[in-house]
Structures are given as structure tokens and as C-alpha cells.
Amino acid sequence: MNHTTSTDMLVVGAGPFGLSAAALAREQGVDVVTVGRPMGFWRERMPDGMLLRSGPGWHLDASEEHTLRAYLHDRRLTPDGFEPIPVGVFLDYADWFRAAKGIEVREELVTAIARRDGAFEAELSGGGRVRSDVVVAAPGVGYFASLPGWAREVPPGRMAHSSDLVSFDALSGRRVLIVGGRQSAYEWAALMSEHGAERVDIVHRHPAPRFAAVSWDFFDDYVESTLRVEGWWRRLTAAERAAVVARCREAGRATLEPWLPPRLDSSVVRVRPRCEVVGVAVGGDAGAEGRLEIGLSNGETLEEDRIVFATGYAPDLSRVPYLAGLRDRIATRNGFPVLDESFGTTVPGLFLTGFAATQDFGPFFGFVKAAPASSTLLMRGLASRWR
């Protein structure tokens, strides 16, 4: 017989935003069930050797107690020795945070959520159910990988989005085209080169990025303003919002980490800025896995074995399977859910945080930096429910 668990709050997703929300809710005496793979996207879809762009000031704790700096101190590690921070260190911090906060994660997937008799009922991949008054969902960017239209022309098995490529050993001796020119494109190129790729071609439409150290301190002002002024992002004029977006873009997209260039072997990695793919064909004899012939807008033709799309993410709630039963009641705009000031959707009791909230809260709410603030705003909105 399938077992049904009843709780005050169901948190769907055990990444940074989900763990942060679960921790603060538990501290405030709310009964919480958290379902998901702990830091699953980070563990499964970020490669070993990846370095984070954030510093030791970014953490998960809205209470400012179990921070990344506190973890490093507990482990007798010096913060200065971890800049940039290896992804493995942050994963170990997340495990430490989860243990310190007493968060037990049910390592299953939520397969469906329905609204029944004034409450939510979630079905789990293991066959059980969770009945809850409130659902906080933090669908990670893994659901929203974006591909260009011409990707349909690439034969099956010959391409991957960067979030699906976390092992590079199979690319040893291969030629790889990377489409995109931001941090993941160049870091993946470095990792492929270090794993023995014969050649890596980076192609992107925008100018070549600059490589320089970036301070993310300006995020502090944006996050603190959001906490201090209700609806801060929405109250900004269109010009003011555009200025914030431009500043975030300049720091996060147009400027890449200065430790990358020394790792880009010029005999392997070749960059073609202000260029794009205009055609794909398969060469070689019929029936053989011939190289892909890639036509570029500059007139060149490249011969490649694989294509990797470092083309980012685009919102589309229809790609989150567990929301299918509620989707016709969730108002959206530009693919994002329409949210109130506590991340509430148009389905009463359903809240969405993380990347899904960036349209209504600003682009900086897609970064780990905003996880504690997201939890604070969420619990402010829910305070009267359990008072």
C-alpha cells in the first residue's frame, strides 16, 4: 500500500534554493518535507574540475549562521585558499549545511502534483504521496536548456548541451565545436583541451569576451534593496531595470574569469567571434560516422566529431513535468510564472523560486547569492499562515 505523508510545506528540489527554504522554514517551526536529489544538478551536471565564479561570501543560510565561511572555519580551511572555489568544495558545504540544519531529504522525484480537497497531493517516484498545505518548488535550470533551431539538423548522439556533458574522456582525440561564448563555453573548452581533445572550435555571434577579475559585491545592494523595499524590482522604471540587467550581463556574461586564458591551449582551442553556424551536414561514406561538416557565416567549413551547445537557458514551465497538472492555472509571461512578492503563483499555496523568479525579482535572483533572500521573502509571506 502506498504511504501518504502529511506536512505543512513540501519543498520540491534540493538544490540551493530548496535547501535554503527548507532550513528557514524548519527554524520557524514549520513541518517540512523536502524531496529531490541533494544538489542533484550540481553533482550530476557540473564536471569535476569546474571552478565557481562566486566567492566565499555566497551561501545558503538566511539566518547567517551556517555560511560558507563558517563551513571553511569548521573545516580549518582558509577562505583565501579557495578563490576560485572548486565545485566539490561547495558541494561539501551544502552537505554540511544540510546536516547542521537537520534537513532530511527524501531522495526521490516528484512526478505529479494535484490540488485536492483544499490541499496539494504530490506523487513520488517511489510510489508514495505527500499531502501538503503549501508547495515550494525550485525547478533548476536543467529543465530549461536552450538550443538553436538548427540543432534539429544534427544527427542523434552527435551533440549535447553543456549541462549534459560532464565527462570529457570520450572526447580525447576528437574535434569538437562549441557554440556559445560565455563562461561555460570557454571553461568547457579548457577542460576538453586538458582531456586530450584534438581540436576545439568556439563559435559565437558576439565579440570576444574580456577576461578580468569581477567583483560581485554590487549584487549585495540589489538583494538588500529587495529585502528592504517590497516590490523593489517592479518599482524600478524600465530604464532602471535595463541598467541593472546590463550591469549583470557585463559582469556575468561579457567578462570571463582571468584564470581561463592560461588554460586555453592555443594549439588546440580556436575562437571565432562574431560568427555563427549556417549549415550542418554529415560527411564520410554512407553508413559510416563521418565528421560533421559545419558551415559558418564567415565562409569557413569546419569538420567536427561533436557539437556542444553552451547556449544557456530559456524559461518554459511546460518543461517541468511535475507541474503539468497545475499548469493551466499558473499564469505565465514570457515563459516565466507570474509571481507575487512572496514568490506565490496564481495557484494559491504554490510558490516558485530560483531561475523561475528572475523576471519578477531581477536576474540576480537566479544566482546562489539570492537563495537566503528568497527564503526570507517566502517565509515573510507565509508567516500569517502558521501564526
Query: pLDDT digit string (tens) for 50-83?
Result: 999 988 999 999 999 999 999 999 999 887 777 7
Query: pLDDT by residue (tens digit) across 328-339?
Result: 999 999 999 999
* pLDDT over 50 (residue 1): no
Give how far Cα 263 sits from Cα of 170, 180, 206, 251, Å. 20, 18, 22, 21
Q: Classify 48 as helix, strand or coil.
A: coil
The residue-averaged pLDDT of 166-188 equals 96
**Residue 249 placed within a domain:** no
Q: What's the pLDDT score for residue 282? A: 87
Percent residues over pLDDT 90 in the chain: 88
**Residue 197 placed within a domain:** yes
**Pair 158, 292 in one domain:** yes
**Residue 241 placed within a domain:** no
**Pair 192, 106 in one domain:** no
The domain in which residue 140 lies consists of 4-144+314-386
CA nearest 202: which of 272, 249, 258? 272
**Residue 382 placed within a domain:** yes
Give how far Cα 196 sits from Cα of 29, 130, 155, 171, Å. 52, 47, 24, 7
DSSP summary character for residue 290: P
Q: In this predicted model, which residue has the larger pLDDT, 253 or 377?
A: 377
**Pair 47, 108 in one domain:** yes
Q: What's the pLDDT score for residue 49? A: 87
The residue-averaged pLDDT of 180-209 equals 96
**Pair 294, 153 in one domain:** yes
- Among the ranges given (93-97, 130-134, 284-288, 350-354), the one the predictor scored with the smallest mean pLDDT: 284-288
* pLDDT over 80 (residue 148): yes
Query: pLDDT by residue (tens digit) across 233-285?
Result: 999 999 999 999 999 999 988 999 999 999 999 999 999 999 999 999 987 65
- HSE, CB side, 13 Å, CA atoms: give it for residue 364: 29
Domain end among 309, 324, 341: 309
**Pair 276, 381 in one domain:** no
Four-residue CA torsion sign, 260, 54, 16, 232: negative
DSSP per position, 217-277? THHHHHHHHHHHSTTHHHHS-HHHHHHHHHHHHIIIIIEE-TTSGGGS-TTTEEEE-S--E
* pLDDT over 80 (residue 289): no
CA nearest 373: which of 2, 20, 87? 20
**Residue 218 placed within a domain:** no
Q: What's the pLDDT score for residue 290? A: 82
**Pair 179, 304 in one domain:** yes
**Pair 88, 112 in one domain:** yes
Residue the block writes with cell 515550494: 136
Domain end among 309, 336, 371: 309
Q: 272 — phi, psi (to 5°)? A: -125, 90
DSSP per position, 102-120? T--EE-S-EEEEEEETTEE
Q: What's the pLDDT score for residue 278? A: 96
pTM of the model: 0.94
Query: pLDDT by residue (tens digit) across 103-132?
Result: 999 999 999 999 988 899 999 999 999 999
Copy the grid coordinates of residue 309. Answer: 551547445
**Pair 101, 123 in one domain:** yes
d(CA 342, CA 345): 9
Residue type present at position 385: R
**Residue 11 placed within a domain:** yes
Q: What's the pLDDT score for residue 387? A: 66
CATH of the domain at 320: 3.50.50.60
d(CA 176, CA 168): 11
Contacts of 12 (CB under 8 A, 6+ apart): 18, 35, 36, 110, 113, 122, 135, 136, 137, 138, 139, 322
**Beta-carbon neighbour count of residue 220 at 10 Å?**
12
**Pair 304, 162 in one domain:** yes
Query: pLDDT by residue (tens digit) across 203-228?
Result: 999 999 999 998 899 999 999 999 99
How many domains does the chain fold into? 2
Q: What's the pLDDT score for residue 286? A: 40
**Residue 233 placed within a domain:** no
**Pair 121, 266 in one domain:** no
Query: pLDDT by residue (tens digit) across 308-325?
Result: 999 999 999 999 999 999
Q: 12 with 326: CB under 8 angstroms?
A: no
Q: Classify 357 as helix, strand or coil.
A: helix
**Residue 65 placed within a domain:** yes
Q: What's the pLDDT score for residue 284? A: 60
**Pair 263, 136 in one domain:** no
Q: What's the pLDDT score for residue 48? A: 87
Domain end among 279, 309, 339: 309
**Pair 59, 199 in one domain:** no
Copy the grid coordinates of residue 281. Answer: 551536414
Q: What's the pLDDT score for residue 181? A: 95
Mean pLDDT, all residues of the chain: 94
d(CA 264, CA 261): 5
